[in-house]
Structures are given as C-alpha cells and as structure tokens.
Amino acid sequence: MTEIKTVYGQLEKELMVRIEPAPDEWDRLFNVDFFIKIQGKYIGIQIKPVNQGIQL
C-alpha cells in the first residue's frame, strides 16, 4: 500500500472524488489552490501549512 503524502491526495482518497489544481486566475481572484467539480458546480479549496503557535 502506497502512503499518500499530500493533503489533497488524502482528501481525494477519503472523498473518492478528483481534486484538480486551480488555474492561476482562480488563485489570484478567489485564493483557491485546488477545486472539486460536482454536477457542473465547483468547490474551491485552499491549503495552508500550520505553524506551531498559530491557530487557524
């Protein structure tokens, strides 16, 4: 079994949907790194690292 080391890879496996990289325009306009397309609609995902001492 191969370990999935990325956050979006783990999400893909858990949700059983394809997560795609967002176009640069979406990143600049909407601050999304990845998206999920479901029935012609989109869910944007932004993934940020968590640093010690900072709560999101």
Residue 17 has what pLDDT?
92
Structural tokens at position 54 = 């900072």
Mean pLDDT of 22-26: 95
User: Whole-model pTM above 0.85?
Assistant: no
Rounded-to-integer distance, Cα 56 and Cα 49, Å: 10
Structural tokens at position 30 = 């909407």
Residue 45 has what pLDDT?
92
**pLDDT classification of 8: cutoffs 50, 70, 90:** confident
The domain spans of the chain are: 1-56
Q: In the chain, what is the straight-line distance between the N-terminal and C-terminal CA atoms, in Å?
A: 32
Instruction: Please provide the average confidence, as pLDDT, over all residues in the chain.
Output: 86
For the chain, the DSSP string reads -PPP-SHHHHHHHHHTS--EEPPHHHHHHH--SEEEEETTEEEEE---PPPTT---
Mean pLDDT is lowest, of 14-18, 30-34, 36-40, 51-55, for 51-55
